Amino acid sequence: MMKPDTQPDQQAGDNLENAFPVDWGRRLRGEAGLRFLDATLAELAQTFPRERARRTLDEGNHRATVSGMLANLVAASFNRSDSCKYLAVPFNNQAYAGLEISLRSAVELRDCLHERGLIEYWSGYFGRDPWGNPRHSRNSRLRAMPAMRAALVEAGVGPHSITIADNWLLRMGKRPATDSIPNDVAASREMLRKVNQRLAEAQISLPSDRWDCIADRWRRGMEKQNSAVSSSLNYSGDESAVSLYRSFTDAFEKGGRFYGGWWINIPSEERLNITIGGEPVVECDYSQLHPVMLYSREGEKLRFDPYEVPGFGTANRKLAKATFQRLLNGEPDADLAPRVLRASADDDISRLPKGSTFRDFVAALIDHNRPIRHWFGKGQGVHLQREDSDLACGVLAAMKQVLAAKYDAFPLLKHKAKRSQPPNPSPPLPSITRTRKRPAPRKPGAWGEL
């Protein structure tokens, strides 16, 4: 086994903490990608000769593992925000229990690439305090060296060479869903295959200067230790991520939203800068989707802004929206239950009226939404996600053009938007669709652009 590199410099040490998490559902695809995979497998066979051939199942697992790790290294190597990004990979049996991924194959590929000077390798660790309690831990880090990036370019391998394996299109948490899949969920797999084929053939892009702005914004969030912002930095600039999958939360009645597209994690205003095949888009979405769904359960039509709390003004609307979701996600016996809900580190409570507390704000928000208050603190968030994910599946199945879909927002080609509006769900939820357009550039005045 190869020894890892040692003593990273300060910049490398910072990058090690913000690495690209491995997604074992990724695979190489296309003529160039598969040719590169076969060449790598042949090199591994020579480097680690076997006395007897692998069984058919083991050979399939070996190929899946090598393809998966290479696909992730390619994604990190061609990252638009940081082409020197590290890949975070666990090398322990527990991480791969029940998966088709082979730890032995992953280690052999790692050591083969490292021995040839094609990757950096920093070993992971699991720290414990003197009493044996877990402390800070970190998975191993890999990063393609310039020689490997050059080899990828020469072979014609890039972000377009990556897809998601068929058995990973439906996931339960971070693993493929395999047991007792309901018929309606299983049917969405075929829909995702077709959608991903269209996405692979399209050219979904964001201008380089917008990627720079997004990366700067997320880095500032990390400096402020904003957890919601810093977690998204891992996916900044990953234009290889153009295949969608559905992920459920410990049961098929929970979650089921789409993930995997790079456009999902970027700020909403930046999605208006997306182009599909070089053409601009508009974004059609279902605004206030979860409040509308909850009021619909009560047989009521939502006719007001559920996030504009009386007495607290529009300045606290963003805080109200975040708090509303926390109320929905709170479990009856959890710390997020309404009676004990407190402001989190990410909440901006500086705009609350003088003399008002966050507890006052929460009480007013609940009273403002009195008809649905009984749904708060009951863990309804993941159940609503299952409902809105079914809605999104219906939209994707009905639309014929490429959609860079999010669970409640669907960028459409601008010139097709009027005749290609996303459909309302069944039963319909009226008055919830809106269209956002990219604002026109502001013309400079007499004194120029100030």
pLDDT surpasses 90 at 91: yes
Q: Which of 38-42, 76-80, 355-359: highest mean pLDDT?
A: 38-42
Q: At 89, phi and psi to the nearest 5?
A: -135, 125
- The predicted-structure confidence for 177-218, as pLDDT tens digits, reads as follows 988 999 999 999 999 999 999 888 888 888 888 888 887 776
Q: Give me the pLDDT at residue 43, please.
A: 96
Q: Give me the pLDDT at residue 376, please.
A: 92
Contact indicator for 383, 254 with CB cutoff of 8 Å: yes
pLDDT surpasses 80 at 224: no
pLDDT surpasses 80 at 106: yes
Q: Give me the pLDDT at residue 221, please.
A: 61
- Mean pLDDT for 24-42 is 97
For the chain, give the percent of residues with pLDDT over 70. 77
Rounded Cα distance, 370 and 57, in Å: 57
Q: Give me the pLDDT at residue 171, please.
A: 96
Contact indicator for 75, 241 with CB cutoff of 8 Å: yes
- Name the band, by pLDDT with cuts 50, 70 and 90, for residue 286: confident
Closest CA to 152 of 233, 245, 242, 35: 35
Rounded Cα distance, 440 and 421, in Å: 22
Calculate the alpha carbon distances from 225 to 230, 268, 316 in Å.
7, 21, 21
Sign of the CA dihedral 202, 204, 207, 212? negative
pLDDT surpasses 60 at 446: no
- Name the band, by pLDDT with cuts 50, 70 and 90, for residue 416: low
Average pLDDT along the chain: 83
Q: Give me the pLDDT at residue 428, please.
A: 45
pLDDT surpasses 80 at 112: yes
